[in-house]
Amino acid sequence: MMFSTGFYPQSVAVGDFNNDTNLDLIVINGFNGSVSLLLGYGNGLFDNQIIFFTGSYSQSVAVGDFNKDTRLDIVVTNTNENNIGILLGYGNGSFKDQITFSTGYHPNSIVVGDFNNDNQLNIVVANEDDYT
């Protein structure tokens, strides 16, 4: 099956962004600085995309609860702006405008996990052009 997204999809992540227990998809649209949210019906089908704007040339996305409010949030790499953007989720399939944090030169990949066992998610970014 194919589902419509934005221009030049780069990366995809999965989560339940509207708390209906069905898995949803979040897709990075590289060339138009946005992410597409496709809400799942639980039967392998998805609703039409909802677009949220990010920074210039986003390449990678990860999912987590970054502010500990039990709602899923997303973090994206904004490669041409040398930052990451965090979009805090409302838990109803929508997000606040992104909050940005500086990174190294051309961030292109991102993962999250509790790497230091302090019960808080950490964000790890690979920066393509400064080899960090």
Average pLDDT on 98-111 reads 96
pLDDT at residue 79, as a whole number: 93
**Single pTM value for the model:** 0.93
Residues 70-94 pLDDT 10s: 999 999 999 999 999 999 999 999 9
Task: Using the predicted structure, report yes or no on whether residue 1 has a pLDDT greater than 80.
Answer: no
* Measured distance CA(120)–CA(115) in Å, rounded: 9
Give 21's pLDDT tier (boundaries 50, 70, 90).
very high
* Measured distance CA(24)–CA(18) in Å, rounded: 8
* Measured distance CA(10)–CA(26) in Å, rounded: 11
Domain ranges of the chain: 9-130
3-class DSSP assignment, residue 130: helix
* DSSP single-letter state for residue 98: P
Residue whose entry in the numeric block shows the structure tokens 């039967």:
43
Residues 93-104 pLDDT 10s: 999 999 999 999
